[in-house]
Amino acid sequence: MANPAQPPKIELMQRPDYRESYANSVQVRANLWDFFLMFGLVQQSSPDSVTIHNFQGVYLSPQQAKALLNVLSQNVKDYEGAFGEIKLEPQAQAAGGSIIQ
């Protein structure tokens, strides 16, 4: 019998330019080759004026985007199991008809 291959050791390292930021806005664009996630901060200066300050864009391959979907889905499920359901408030519909969250 052949021994199953050992998984590689994974070492996580931060580059010198590594930063952490808080985002309460994520915009997603997709094309044939990749997904683009743009992270930002929403600032509402008045009831009828919202500004989004985008600060980071990240390109993902379709495979990595699907892997991210799976990881986020499992983590949200675990979070809701520990702390209760996350409720989303209804949002205005965009011109294209989709809900903006």
DSSP per-residue letters across the chain: -PPPPPPPP------TT------SEEEEEE-SS-EEEEEEEEEEEETTEEEEEEEEEEEE-HHHHHHHHHHHHHHHHHHHHHH-PPPPPP-PBPTTSPBP-
**Is residue 74, in this structure, part of any structural domain at all?**
yes
- Tell whether the model's pLDDT for residue 95 goes beyond 60: no
Tell me, yes or no, whether 32 lies in a domain.
yes
Q: CA 55, 60, 64, 67 torsion: positive or negative?
A: positive
Task: Specify the pTM.
Answer: 0.75
DSSP lists the bridge partners of residue 57 as 38
Does residue 97 lie within any of the structural domains?
A: no
In a domain? residue 41: yes
Confidence of residue 96 (pLDDT cuts 50, 70, 90): low
In a domain, 6, yes or no: no
Residue 31 inside a domain? The answer is yes
Residue of 34 and 101 predicted with greater confidence: 34
Rounded average pLDDT over 17-29: 95
Predicted confidence (pLDDT) at residue 2 exceeds the cutoff of 80: no
Classify residue 32 by its DSSP letter. S
What percent of the chain clears pLDDT 70, i.e. is strictly above it?
86
| Domain carrying residue 35 | 25-83
**Element (DSSP H or E) covering residue 78:** helix 62-83
For residue 93, pLDDT over 70 is answered with: no
Domain count of the fold of the chain: 1
pLDDT at 6 over 80: yes
Is residue 20 domain-resident?
no
Give dist(CA 101, CA 88) in Å, integer. Answer: 8
Q: Which tens digits make up the pLDDT trace of 29-80?
A: 999 999 999 999 999 988 899 999 999 999 999 999 999 999 999 999 999 9
4's tokens: 């199953």
Q: Is residue 71 part of a domain?
A: yes
